[in-house]
Amino acid sequence: MMTDITDLTLADLRDALKAKNVSSLEATDAYLDNIDTAKDLNAFVTVTADKARAMAKASDAKLARNEGGPIEGVPLGVKDLFCTEGVQTTAGSRMLEGFVPPYESSVTANLWRDGAVMLGKLNMDEFAMGSSNETSYFGPVINPWRAKGGNAKLTPGGSSGGSSASVAAHLCAAATATDTGGSIRQPASLTATVGVKPTYGRCSRWGIVAFASSLDQAGPIARDARDAAIMLRSMAGHDPKDSTSVNRPVPDYEKAIGASVKGLKIGVPKEYRLDGMPAEIEKLWAQGIAWMREAGCEIVDISLPLTKYALPVYYIVAPAEASSNLARYDGVRYGHRAREFPDIHSMYANSRAEGFGKEVQRRIMIGTYVLSAGYYDAYYLRAQKVRKRIFDEFNNAFKKVDLILTPSSPSAAFALGEKSADPVQMYLNDVFTVTANLAGLPGASVPAGLDAKGLPLGLQLIARPFDEETMFKGMFALEQAANFKARPERWWG
Amino acid sequence: MSVDRETVRKVARLARLAVPEERLEPLTAELNGILKWIEQLNEVDVTGVDPMTSTVDMKLPMREDVLQSGPTGGGQPDNVVKNAPKTEDHFFVVPKVVE
């Protein structure tokens, strides 16, 4: 009846499963085949084929009785930052190699409750610290997209590079991801996938390996806006085990798909026009503005003058929180322990030096320094005050507009090794995304076009807190106007 | 503000990270590169601004002070020590701390 099950969107697969036109086991086997022949992409750290087939069979039994959850039988990939009961969870780090959680993260538990099938655990930058996937202990993920006529290996973005690459290459119907400074939206932009970072507090952080707790949020990477809406509905929800999880009902986000955007006010912040930004990105942004205007939106010029300070704030706040969160890795209760040490102090220090990669150590050092006696006020306290001003600036902007439209990332996919020598150059990848994390706002990236080299570029929408529905409306409108159909040409396997 | 080699050594000790001698110099340069970039924040006027504590306007929820059930509950010593590098009878084993 169909050529390839794995080319169905999540929504179409869900409907085909419910109609019994296809079984979950067929879909799961088809995805496992794709994974098997895509080892070149290095997208998975762990493939859970047996578990996937067992879950698929259980789903098929439910579907046969016309039972099952909203995404019953749909095969998904899980970023290796989500703890999965009985399945190794590494956070992309040597520190957690072999760590098998005896519990399940709340977000993944929600997905299994709703019927999803787990294909395996997706590669990522170590402890979600990176924008190119090059900090993973398990080697970088390779972007399925290549420049026209070139064969250089490109980054799928980071830190959720395994999620973005596997969704782009159809190795799963959709994937979970997390975003602390742009780790969902930047990889989505670089792979022509849709990435949604919801409002802080919308998804439970319980069971997700912590990086920077005041910024971390889980969200989906999917093939289109509708699929992302279906995923978020299942992932989100109140959880008493996370005290920052917000207790308010989860709307059926899919209902927002296709709803009219007529009359919505779209803010365009002039400070997102950067010096040295590729002309193609500026052009695409202008195109996006025109698309929203044609769809009946009102375009409003806005100003967010503190934008340029967002990344420096982030590189104080996030390392500070990371240095506290990662203090737990002491080689005692779980994680890597060094073999050689003369005393307990060296046991801690050697275990951590061996277990953590260079970028993670760098950020722990920055965080420890900015929190240390004598520097706390100058760095950390000042950063939290600037963060408050950025938060206020967005609140004021949202008195005038319903959504903010910006580019998602300052460049298309770049070659592995191209930016890894200079940490600050790498950090600049998140220049358009990090503001939403600092202010706790929902943000999403939607594929909008290709650059001259044939590489995808995304546009970002930012919405008011807990107004993901308006964001999905806007995302779908952008998607309809962009009519983006390009797929990476298969070179792997 | 910039850090010198000795400050980096001290911070590494505070962070419990063994940094080999030959890494101190390059690490100092890397950290100074990042710190120099961060210092743009000194341009921002923050007089009278309260530091941000939470992006969500809500009270921290309270719960009954009782033993929870499920994965955060008690009575599962096997699970607690399951991933530890070295254990004995549900205890974590570490090198001798007190002589």
- Indicate the number of domains in chain A: 3
Q: Are residues A150 and A9 in the same domain?
A: yes
Assess A466–B contact: CB distance below 8 Å, yes or no: no
> pLDDT digit string (tens) for A411-457?
999 999 999 888 888 999 999 999 999 999 999 999 999 999 999 99
3-class state of residue A398 by DSSP: coil
**Residue count of chain B:** 99
Q: Are residues A301 and A313 in the same domain?
A: no
For residue A460, give the nearest of A435, A484, A438 by alpha carbon: A435
Q: Tell me whether residue A70 is in a domain.
A: yes
User: How many angstroms away from the CA of A60 is the closest CA of chain B?
Assistant: 28
Assess B66–A contact: CB distance below 8 Å, yes or no: no
Q: Which of A367, A397, A427 is the last residue of a domain?
A: A397
Handedness of CA A299, A305, A308, A313 (dihedral sign): negative
Chain B interface disruption, residue of A361, A365, A371, most B CBs within 10 A: A365
How far apart (Å, rounded) are the C-alpha atoms in residues A60 and A64?
A: 6
Do residues A237 and A110 make contact, with C-beta atoms less than 8 angstroms apart? Answer: yes
3-class state of residue B92 by DSSP: strand
Do residues A66 and A31 make contact, with C-beta atoms less than 8 angstroms apart? Answer: no
Q: Are residues A230 and A149 in the same domain?
A: yes
Q: Are residues A89 and A238 in the same domain?
A: yes
Minimum mean pLDDT among A97-111, A307-321, A330-344, B51-65: which range? B51-65
Q: Are residues A234 and A192 in the same domain?
A: yes
Q: Are residues A232 and A329 in the same domain?
A: no
Q: Are residues A117 and A172 in the same domain?
A: yes
Do residues A264 and A470 make contact, with C-beta atoms less than 8 angstroms apart? Answer: yes
Full residue range of the structural domain in which residue A288 is found: 265-307+385-397
Q: Which of A397, A428, A463 is the last residue of a domain?
A: A397
At residue B68, the pLDDT reads 86
Angle (deg, nearest 10), helices A358-371 and B5-14: 90
CB atoms within 10 A of CB A450: 18
Mean pLDDT throughout A352-371?
A: 97
The two tokens of residue B19 are 């940094």
Q: Are residues A348 and A269 in the same domain?
A: no
User: How many angstroms away from the CA of B75 is the closest CA of chain A?
Assistant: 14
How far apart (Å, rounded) are the C-alpha atoms in residues A414 and A255?
A: 36
Minimum mean pLDDT among A101-110, A338-347, A354-363, A466-475: which range? A338-347
The strand pairing partners of A197, in sequence order, are A443
Q: Are residues A195 and A278 in the same domain?
A: no
Q: Tell me whether residue A122 is in a domain.
A: yes
CA A242, A248, A250 angle in degrees (round to 5)? 100
Inter-chain CB proximity A383 and B30 less than 8 Å: no
How far apart (Å, rounded) are the C-alpha atoms in residues A362 and A345?
A: 20
Q: Are residues A105 and A220 in the same domain?
A: yes
From A214, A341, A361, residue closest to B17, measured CB to CB: A361
Q: Tell me whether residue A492 is in a domain.
A: no
Q: Tell me whether residue A16 is in a domain.
A: yes
Q: Are residues A169 and A187 in the same domain?
A: yes
Chain B interface disruption, residue of A208, A317, A362, A382, most B CBs within 10 A: A382
> pLDDT digit string (tens) for B15-52?
999 999 999 999 999 999 999 999 999 999 999 999 99
Mean pLDDT in chain A? 97
Q: What's at A368, amino acid-wise?
A: T
For residue A162, give the nearest of A180, A184, A147 by alpha carbon: A184
Q: Which of A397, A423, A442 is the last residue of a domain?
A: A397
3-class state of residue A117 by DSSP: strand
Under the banding of pLDDT at 50, 70 and 90, the label for residue A1 is very low
How far apart (Å, rounded) are the C-alpha atoms in residues A457 and A447?
A: 6
* pTM score of the predicted model: 0.97
Residue with the two structure tokens 């150059």: A425
Minimum mean pLDDT among A24-28, A80-84, B32-36, B59-63: which range? B59-63
CATH code of the domain in which A176 resides: 3.90.1300.10
From A316, A348, A441, residue closest to B16, measured CB to CB: A348
Instruction: Give the CA distances from residue A268 to residues A42, A120, A377, A406, B83, in Å, rounded to whole numbers and listed in that order.
Output: 37, 39, 34, 7, 50
Q: Tell me whether residue A490 is in a domain.
A: no
Q: Are residues A286 and A367 in the same domain?
A: no
Q: Tell me whether residue A488 is in a domain.
A: no
Q: Tell me whether residue A403 is in a domain.
A: no
Which chain A residues contact residue B60 at CB under 8 A? 243
For residue B31, give the nearest of A313, A317, A357, A365 by alpha carbon: A365
